[in-house]
Amino acid sequence: MKHNIVIRAYLGLAAVAIGLLLLLRNLHVISFDYWGELWGGFLSLWLILVGCMILVKRSRWIWGLLFLSAGATIGLRALHIVDVNFWQIVWPILFIAVGFAVLFSLVKDGKISKMKVKHMAAAWSGQSEKVEGEYTGGTISSVFSGVDLDLRQADIQDGAVIELFVLFGGVDIIIPNDVVIKNEVTAILGGVDDKTSPGVKAKKTLYIRGECFFGGIELK
């Protein structure tokens, strides 16, 4: 939740600064013709801020470095320090990051499958999973794809944690009514729709954490 506050504060301050510049310019108080540099600077700082937030969690360092590199590239280009096309760098790095994310998910599955922890990763494709038996949590990565996780038949342990990373994708999780959801996802230009309705006797807690960028997460 603290991360959401930081992002909202930054976007709010950016909106105020741009509004003041437009007002002063329209009133002929100042002359400002550096809109390209201004937008580039705001976008650069936003990407760097997001990258630092991801790196602080230490669980998605690949994506943190991706956002940092994208922000640095845009910032240097806006300041006319380098003349590099943003997309010529980001697309190759994005493919590499997706590849590493998928490979790491396979390694994690092999190492801790005995702990009833489930790892799912989907890139440019869809993936669905129905879990039965004991469930203590897991990770889900969705990049330009969709992931469906059905936990209705699972014996969810109290305090289980699902770590999410969504980038231009979507995740749907179906949860039994004997579990209370604690949503701790940081959503930036994305959203989390919690449609769960825990029963009166629901005592177990399932924590949903992670980051959602340009995507959606539905809990039902």
Q: Same domain for 79 and 170?
A: no
Q: Same domain for 166 and 89?
A: no
Q: Same domain for 122 and 208?
A: yes
- Domain total for the chain? 2
Centre a 10 Å sphere on the Cβ of residue 128 and count the other Cβ atoms it contains.
12
Q: Which of 33, 65, 100 is the last residue in one of the domains?
A: 100
Q: Same domain for 154 and 211?
A: yes
Tell me the C-alpha distance between 97 and 168, whole Å.
14
For residue 133, what is the enclosing H or E element? Answer: strand 133-143
- Please list the pLDDT of the chain residue by residue as tens digits (220 residues): 555 677 677 778 888 888 888 888 888 888 877 778 888 888 888 888 888 877 776 556 777 777 888 888 888 888 888 777 766 776 777 677 666 666 665 554 444 344 445 666 666 667 888 888 888 888 888 888 888 999 999 899 999 999 888 888 899 999 998 899 998 887 877 888 989 888 888 889 999 988 888 889 999 8
pTM for this prediction: 0.63
Q: Same domain for 144 and 203?
A: yes
Asked whether residue 152 is domain-assigned, the answer is yes
Q: Same domain for 129 and 199?
A: yes
Asked whether residue 105 is domain-assigned, the answer is no
Contact 113, 79 (CB under 8 A): no
pLDDT value of position 140 = 85
Q: Same domain for 72 and 126?
A: no
Edge to edge, the sheet with strand 179-188 lists 118-123, 133-143, 154-167, 204-213, 179-188
Tell me the C-alpha distance between 195 and 116, whole Å.
26
Tell me the C-alpha distance between 98 and 86, whole Å.
18
Asked whether residue 33 is domain-assigned, the answer is yes
Contact 191, 165 (CB under 8 A): no
Asked whether residue 108 is domain-assigned, the answer is no
Q: Same domain for 144 and 80?
A: no
Q: Same domain for 88 and 176?
A: no
Tell me the C-alpha distance between 170 and 148, whole Å.
9
